[in-house]
Structure 1
Amino acid sequence: MTRSTAQEEWAYVAGVQAYVYGYPLVEIVRTCALMTAVDTPGESGRAPVNQFSHCPRPWTHEDRDVVTPANDLLYSMAWVNLADGPVVLATPAPTSRYFVMELIDAYSDNFRNLSPRVVGPDASRFALVGPDWSGTLPDGTEEIRCPTNLIWALGRVLIDGPDDMQEARAFQTQFTLTATGKSRLPQSVIDYQTTSRSGIAFFENLARAMQDNPPPAVDAGLVAQFARIGLGPGRRFDTGPGSEARIAGLTRAVKAGAQIIEGHTRSRRALPWSINYAGGRLGTDYLARACTAMKGLGALASDEALYALGDFDASGEQFDGARQYVLHFPANQLPPVDAFWSVSIYGSDFYFADNPIRRYAIGDRSRDLRYGTDESLDIHIQHTEPRQGISNWLPAPSGRFYLILRLYHPRQEILTRDYVIPAVRRVEENPAG
């Protein structure tokens, strides 16, 4: 093996690890760059840094900034940069309405949730501060020390049907942000690039993002291995003369890394449902973290919500809109939650697909659901309207798709895995007919 070949192979091996490790960080920066590229807050989740965008309607197939969105809630989104000082987050006094304000760091970790279970009975004010900040907090605030200077504040407010929309909107607008210093984007967000001459924009983006958001100490051993390929906090990624072999290896690593992550987003044993019981707090499980960022960026920690991902039917075959399916919940075996549950459907591109009735999810608050005489529930999942009518129809795209069953405030029986989610069956295999 020549020295040039050895350099390329080392760059490939280390590059695959770096890709899997850095994918969530780059995805966070990409999403931040996309959603802050506006002058004033809009209604689709986009707003300048340190400002909320309050979305006044549930997300549909028209919303494509964030993969795998929910359709049961109103979103309030803000990208916050703490490099120039604290930012004060105000939350409304809880009512009977479900809400959660999720705080996500630059590595996609859900490090804190603010919900009625933790904020107390009154309106609250929290001072978000960066990992190295020191100083005096604004009066009347409680400190939340964040792991990175770039964070994503992702609020969810439950809507209880169309008649509740106005009150839900009024509630969500009570989430506010107030910066105590400048409001400017991190340099890695400003310089984010989707393509480059060498084809390795990913690693250039990663190097800048790591400089703005140094990896946590627990990652030091792994990150140290990336130094030989020119990656590390405070390092400028070199693509100049003499780096040809390294760049060739890293270019291959980008393709392989993406295939590895995408392949692991599906159950390796073709199980009907797979549940990540760690949710949005995955620590050093870097592959699981990357998979979550690819197919569920912004996932909540499991004490707030569980996500069951379905790619396969009961026979172990991938879902396809050319077929017809039914999800049958027997009587008294609906998902065990204390807040709410819903099943959402997504195309192979990780977004909602357009459909004639503009329905993207079915759950316990769906209107006009028809239950069996024994109180069982069938959800019909197919591309064309079922013969039973549209009441229990979850319209599928024409091609490949996947499902997510969201369980907010999951009960103990599903956390301990005593409750088993029924498999989705082809219609002709459905014992309930």
Structure 2
Amino acid sequence: MTSSTAQEEWAYVAGVQAYVYGYPLVEIVRTCALMTAVDAPTGYGRAPVNQFSHCPRPWTHEDRDVVTPANDLLYSMAWLNLADGPVVLATPAPTGRYFVIELVDAYSDNFRNLSPRVVGPGASRFALVGPGWSGTLPDGTEEIRCPTNLVWVLGRVLIDGPDDMHEARAFQAQFTLTATGRSRLPQSVVDYRPSTSPDIAFFDNLARAMQDNPPPAADAGLVAQFARIGLGGRQRFDAGPASEARLAGLQRAAKAGAQLIEGHTRSRRALPWSINYAGGRLGTDYLARACTAMKGLGALASDEALYALGDFDANGEQLDGARQYVLHFPAGQLPPVDAFWSVSIYGSDFFFADNPIRRYAIGDRSRDLRRGKDGSLDIHIQHTEPRQGISNWLPAPSGRFYLILRLYHPRDEILKRDYVIPAVQRVDESTAG
């Protein structure tokens, strides 16, 4: 083996590890750059840094800045840079309406949630501070020390049907942010370079993001190996000597890393449903963290919500809009939750697909669902309108798709794995309509 070949292979092996490790960090920076670019022609700019964007409607196929959104809620989004001082988050007094303010660090970890179960009976004020901050907190605030200076604040407010929209928006508007210092984007966000396919730009973005957000101590051993391919917590990307060979290895690594993550987002045993019981807190399980960032960025910790992903039917075949399916919940066996549940459908691009009735999910708050005489519930999943009508129809895209069953405040029977989610059954097209 020549020296050049050895350099390329070493870069490839280390590069795959770095890609899997760094994918969530780069995805967070990419999403921050997209959502804070308020003057960009993409139309996805939500609000400048350190400011809330309160979305006045549930997300649809038109919203494509964050993968696998829910359609049951009003989202409130904000990106914070705590390098210049604390940001104060104010929450209203709970009213009985479900809400949660999720705090996500730069490595995509859901490190804290603020909900009625946590904030108490009255209005609250929290001072979000960076990992190295010291000083005096603003009066009347409770400190929340964040693992990184870049923080994604992702709020969810439940809507109980169209008639509830006005009150839900009024409640949502009471969540506010106040910066105590300057409001500047992190340099890694300013310098983010988009790429349409996995390539060397990924490692440029990763190096800058690691500069702004040094890896946690638990990652030190793994991150130390990346120095030989030009990556480190406090240095810019530099392939170094024999750069041509190393760059070739890293280009291969980027493609292989993306394929590895995408392949692991689906059940390797083709099970009808797969559940990540750790949710948005995955620690050093780097591959699981990358898979969650690819297919469910912003996932909540499992004590707040569980996400069951369905890519396959009961026969182990991938779900496809060319076929017709039914999801049957027997009487008394609806998903066990204390808040709410819903089944959402997504195309192969990880977003909602346009459909003639603009329906993207069915759940326990869906109106006019038809139940069986015994109280059972059938959800018809297909591309064309079912013979039974649209009441229980979850429109599928024409090609491959997947489902997410969301369970907010899951009960013990599913946390302890006693409850089994029914498999999606393929039905005979001559009888499905």
Normalized against structure 1, the TM-score is what? 0.97
Partner deviation per Cα, 1:400-425 (whole Å, 9 max, x = no partner):
00000000000000000000000000
d(CA) in 1 for partners of 2:260 and 2:44? Answer: 31
d(CA) in 1 for partners of 2:13 and 2:124? Answer: 48
- C-alpha spacing 1:157/1:196, structure 2 compared with 1 (3 Å): closer
Indicate the residue corresponding to 1:294 in structure 2: 294
* 1:85 is aligned to 2:85: yes
- Ranges of 4+ aligned residues in structure 1 off by more than 2 Å: 42-45, 195-199, 239-242
Contact 2:282 2:288 in 1 (8 A): yes
The 5-angstrom pairing of residues 200-349 of structure 1 reads: 200-239=200-239, 242-349=242-349
Contact 2:38 2:44 in 1 (8 A): no
TM-aligned CA deviation for residue 428 of structure 1: 3.2
Contact 2:230 2:239 in 1 (8 A): no
Q: Which runs of 5+ in 2 are unaligned?
A: none
- Residue type at the aligned position of 2:250: L
Superposition CA RMSD, Å: 2.0
- Residue type at the aligned position of 1:273: W
- C-alpha spacing 1:52/1:39, structure 2 compared with 1 (3 Å): farther
Report how many aligned residue pairs link the two structures. 432
d(CA) in 2 for partners of 1:267 and 1:231? Answer: 32
d(CA) in 1 for partners of 2:143 and 2:216? Answer: 20
d(CA) in 1 for partners of 2:196 and 2:401? Answer: 31
d(CA) in 2 for partners of 1:137 and 1:31? Answer: 29
- Residue type at the aligned position of 2:58: P
- C-alpha spacing 1:53/1:199, structure 2 compared with 1 (3 Å): same
Indicate the residue corresponding to 1:420 in structure 2: 420
- C-alpha spacing 1:216/1:368, structure 2 compared with 1 (3 Å): same
- C-alpha spacing 1:43/1:5, structure 2 compared with 1 (3 Å): closer
d(CA) in 1 for partners of 2:21 and 2:279? Answer: 17
d(CA) in 1 for partners of 2:250 and 2:99? Answer: 43
- Residue type at the aligned position of 1:370: R
* 1:373 is aligned to 2:346: no
- Residue type at the aligned position of 1:100: V
- Residue type at the aligned position of 2:8: E
- C-alpha spacing 1:359/1:198, structure 2 compared with 1 (3 Å): closer
- Residue type at the aligned position of 2:324: Q
Contact 1:370 1:391 in 2 (8 A): yes
- Residue type at the aligned position of 2:17: Q
TM-aligned CA deviation for residue 194 of structure 1: 1.4
Contact 1:109 1:282 in 2 (8 A): yes
TM-aligned CA deviation for residue 241 of structure 1: 6.9
Indicate the residue corresponding to 1:35 in structure 2: 35
- Residue type at the aligned position of 2:351: Y
Normalized against structure 2, the TM-score is what? 0.97
SS at 1:83's partner residue? helix
d(CA) in 1 for partners of 2:218 and 2:239? Answer: 29
d(CA) in 1 for partners of 2:197 and 2:107? Answer: 26
Indicate the residue corresponding to 1:54 in structure 2: 54
Partner deviation per Cα, 1:88-117 (whole Å, 9 max, x = no partner):
000111011000000000000000000000
- C-alpha spacing 1:214/1:268, structure 2 compared with 1 (3 Å): same
- C-alpha spacing 1:328/1:51, structure 2 compared with 1 (3 Å): same
TM-aligned CA deviation for residue 44 of structure 1: 6.3
Q: Which runs of 5+ in 1 are unaligned?
A: none
d(CA) in 2 for partners of 1:296 and 1:211? Answer: 25
The 5-angstrom pairing of residues 355-394 of structure 1 reads: 355-394=355-394
Contact 1:160 1:365 in 2 (8 A): yes
d(CA) in 2 for partners of 1:242 and 1:314? Answer: 51
TM-aligned CA deviation for residue 432 of structure 1: 12
Partner deviation per Cα, 1:226-253 (whole Å, 9 max, x = no partner):
0100100111112577411111100000
Indicate the residue corresponding to 1:95 in structure 2: 95
- Residue type at the aligned position of 1:215: P
Moved more, 384-393 or 192-201: 192-201
Indicate the residue corresponding to 1:402 in structure 2: 402
Q: How many percent of aligned residue pairs carry the same amino acid? A: 89
SS at 2:247's partner residue? helix
Partner deviation per Cα, 1:296-353 (whole Å, 9 max, x = no partner):
0000000000000000000000000000000000000000000000000000000000
Contact 2:37 2:45 in 1 (8 A): no
d(CA) in 2 for partners of 1:274 and 1:100? Answer: 24
SS at 2:340's partner residue? strand
Contact 1:43 1:55 in 2 (8 A): no
Indicate the residue corresponding to 1:66 in structure 2: 66
- Residue type at the aligned position of 1:392: N
Moved more, 236-245 or 177-186: 236-245
Contact 1:43 1:53 in 2 (8 A): no
